[in-house]
Amino acid sequence: MPTKSKKTKAAGRFGARYGRSVRTKLASVETKQRIKQKCPYCGKLGVKRLSKGIWECSKCKKKFASDIYYLE
């Protein structure tokens, strides 16, 4: 059962494994990749990450390949 810890957020699913600083770094990347990103085509905030480097805009329905974790 994955439980969220207060300090490491989503990385709390790893329990005590991999070290605290690694988990904190991972949590900061993961929270950034899960929020809606800005679309390079229509400029609206609505791009969701589908998989590694694959993004889809919910506004203009464009699917494209770009950066792995989050868009600039």
Contact residues toward Zn ion (CB under 5 A) are 39, 41-42, 57, 59-60
d(CA 46, CA 25): 25
Q: Residue 70, SS3?
A: coil
Of 13 and 62, nearer to Zn ion (C-beta) is 62
Closest separation in Å from C-beta 33 to Zn ion: 17
Q: Kindly state the smallest distance separating residue 38's Cβ from Zn ion, in Å.
A: 9
Cα dihedral value 39, 52, 22, 37, nearest 10: 10
Q: Which of 23, 49 has the CB closer to Zn ion? A: 49
